[in-house]
Amino acid sequence: KQEVTQIPAALSVPEGENLVLNCSFTDSAIYNLQWFRQDPGKGLTSLLLIQSSQREQTSGRLNASLDKSSGRSTLYIAASQPGDSATYLCAVGLITQGGSEKLVFGKGTKLTVNP
Amino acid sequence: GAGVSQTPSNKVTEKGKYVELRCDPISGHTALYWYRQSLGQGPEFLIYFQGTGAADDSGLPNDRFFAVRPEGSVSTLKIQRTERGDSAVYLCASSLIADTGELFFGEGSRLTVL
C-alpha cells in the first residue's frame, strides 16, 4: 500500500528565508507527483505537477524535484513571504489495478512565514 | 464555470439524517473525483468518475455512501444515516482528461454530524 510522508509537520521561518519541504513515498510505481497549497478552510490549489519521467518543475519562486528511485520529492520555496503561509500537501498519482487513477496524499506541512 | 463549485459550503446535520453534497466541475472536464479530508489529515480518495460511470468506487467507506453523475457533469455525493464519524470536509476535483494527472479542486463541503 502506498504511503506518503511529509516532513516536517510544521515549519516556522522568518520572511526572506529559503526553505525546503520534504515528501517521501513507499512505492516508486507512480505516474506523477503533485504539490498543493491549502489555506485554512479552503480547498487545494495545485502548485506544481511533475510527471514520472521528469526530474523537476519550476514556477516562480517554487521548484519541485522528483527522485522516483529513492521515493522522494522536495518543494523548494525561495525568498519566502508571509503570504506563503499555508499547509503544503504532497500527493502521488497512482494507476489502480482497475485502470483508474487516484492521488494518495501526505498529511501536509504547515508553513508559517513571520514578517 | 471558472472553477470547481461545491455546495453547500457548510452542512450541519443530526446523526441518522440523509445528506447530499453537490459538485459542479470545470466545464468540459471528463474526470471527476471525490475525496474526504478529516481534521489534520490529507485528503483520502472516495470515488472516481470517467464520464457518467463510476470507474473506481473502492474508497467509499461503506454502503451508506453513494455518488452519481447522471449526465457526465454535475455529481452528487449521498450519505445515508449519517454518523458522527462522517464529519469531515468533502472535496471534489476534476481534470480535463484522466491521464493528464492535474486535478483542480473545489473549496469543499464541510459536513458536521452532531
Q: What HEC string does chain B produce? A: CCCCEEECCEEEECCCCCEEEEEECCCCCCEEEEEEECCCCCCEEEEEEECCEEEECCCCCCCCEEEECCCCCCEEEEECCCCHHHCEEEEEEEECCHHHCCCEECCCEEEEEC
pLDDT at A99: 67
pLDDT in tens, A37-89: 999 888 899 999 999 999 999 999 999 999 999 999 999 999 999 999 999 99
Average per-residue pLDDT in chain A?
A: 93
pLDDT at A98: 64
pLDDT in tens, B93-110: 998 875 556 788 999 999
Q: How far apart are CA A114 and CA A23, in angstroms?
A: 23
Give me the residue from B42, B50, B101 closest to A93, CB to CB. Answer: B101
B103/A104 CB distance under 8 A: no
Residues of B in contact with A59 (CB under 8 A): none
Residues of B in contact with A103 (CB under 8 A): 33, 35, 43, 45, 103
Whether B4 has its CB under 8 Å from any CB of chain A: the answer is: yes
